[in-house]
Amino acid sequence: MVNPKNAPVKQWIKAAIACIAYILFIVWVGNFWWLFLLPVIFDIFVTKIIPWSAWRKIKNKPLYTLCSWLDAIIFALVAVYFVNLYLFQNFRIPSSSLEKSLLVGDFLLVSKVSYGPRVPITPLSLPLVQNTMPISGGKSYCDKVQWDYKRLAGLDTIKAMDIVVFNFPVGDTVAVKMENPDYYTLCQRYGRENVINNPSVFGEIIYRPVDRRENYVKRCVGLPGDSLQIIDNQIYVNGQKQHNPKGLQFNYFVETDGRKLSDQQFESMQISNDDRLLVNEWGSGQDILRYLGYKTNDNGLFNPVYYLPLTEDALAKMKKLPNVRSVSIDKDIFAQPMFPFGYKNWTRDNYGPVYIPRKGATVALDTANLPLYERIIKNYEGNDLRVDGNKIYINGHLADSYTFKMNYYWMMGDNRHNSADSRYWGFVPEDHIVGKPLFVWLSVDKDASLFSAIRWNRFFAPVDGFK
């Protein structure tokens, strides 16, 4: 133990700085129970009642080295854990849903301070692991303890066209052997009993808490209180046509004159290897081409027809290629069920209008519009919901309206014909918001090799620049 009077001035200065920073952090978090740890911080720098650095006096060199490594590792893990929890998080773009704005292989620095960091809902979890242990494959968290949703003060709020990282809303229930498509889509396709009773195919059915669900990244195209509609692939919010981001792309059928497109032509339009789909080679390709109205050539064969995602610039280039005969947009021939399942005849390209709930707003409720808000009422806001004929009961009381407890958002990808987004699974609750990507700190092209795989021109590219 060191007498405080004998402690060097620099130790007092360090203690003062650490204590002030810690108190400011506690005020930000709003959990004043943590003030009881102040004496520990003071002891580390000044009194040293607990011999925190006793290992430095070890004479045995191998043991000294081991302890020094453990000290550094423990400090680094704690520091990274708090940075990851309250300040910043790394995120890698795994799919093409935001291309060509964000690309597969982009690594993003995600700011949690921008919208306010979310206090952990599942506090007992392995740091830096989302939901599954890397080797064993088991759960990386214990959901026996669950805290209420709370978000700390942030620097900003979500704006229209922001790219946002969030927890997958319908990722609450997961078939571990088939996570894509989501559990609810699997039940719609194959029947709930079939999914539950076939673990060899679908795996164990598990529940994941809000903050342990998979991280997704999309563009916010609808804010709380907005009315959103999609007409012929164009988004309208509150009746106003919205700006289209530069990287926006749709899928097109491209027919050639008999000659295939070359690698150089694909590369000039930045079409990845995975996206170079030739319909003629599909198992049912001939039937699809016939259904689309393509005619066979003099040899009784169909000319090559590609199914490609194209931006506006790539579309203009494609139409000018000498071996391209026709280009037509995909009219949703591979139609998938829209959110909510079985509700109206909305499609991927013509959807809504739909009201995006705002905290404190009240909507009239009946069996006609209940499918839109049923998941919000039951799953996201924790009410008991029952329908008896044409009557709706919420928490045992007859209800003809509902007042929302949270804000909700509408998220979509820029790769509009190849994005599993709100059109398929609905609203994103505010308690699912993780953070705002700031910039690309690394970008790796999986179609290239060695140093050519690094997209140097994307280093530190600000995400706001992709609007």
pLDDT digits (tens), the chain, 467 positions = 666 667 788 888 888 898 999 899 888 888 788 888 888 888 888 788 888 777 778 888 888 888 889 888 888 888 888 888 899 999 999 888 999 999 999 999 999 999 999 999 998 888 788 888 888 888 899 999 999 999 999 999 999 999 999 999 999 999 999 988 899 999 999 999 999 999 999 999 999 999 999 999 999 999 999 999 999 999 999 999 999 998 999 999 999 999 999 999 999 999 999 999 999 999 999 999 999 999 999 899 999 999 999 999 999 999 999 999 999 999 988 888 999 998 999 999 999 999 999 999 999 999 999 999 999 999 999 999 999 999 999 999 999 999 999 999 999 999 999 999 999 999 999 999 999 999 999 999 988 887 788 999 999 999 998 88
Catalytic residue of the set 100, 101, 111, 218: 218
| Neighbour-count burial of 379, counting CB atoms closer than 10 A to its CB (0-12 exposed, 13-18 middle, 19+ buried) | middle
Give the separation between CA 415 and CA 446, rounded to whole angstroms.
18
Residues of the chain with pLDDT > 70, as a percent, come to 99
27 with 4: CB under 8 angstroms?
A: no
Catalytic residue of the set 96, 97, 101, 125: 97
Q: Phi first, then psi: what are they for 25, rounded to 5°?
A: -65, -40
Active site residue 446: no
Active site residue 218: yes
Return the closest-CA partner of residue 335 out of 344, 347, 353: 347
What does the block give as tokens for 139?
């759960």
What does the block give as tokens for 9?
């001035």
For the segment 295-310, what is each residue's pLDDT rounded down to a tens digit? 999 899 999 999 999 9
Global pTM? Answer: 0.91
Give the separation between CA 234 and CA 249, rounded to whole angstroms.
12
225: Cβ contacts below 8 Å, ≥ 6 apart:
356, 357, 358, 361
130 with 189: CB under 8 angstroms?
A: no
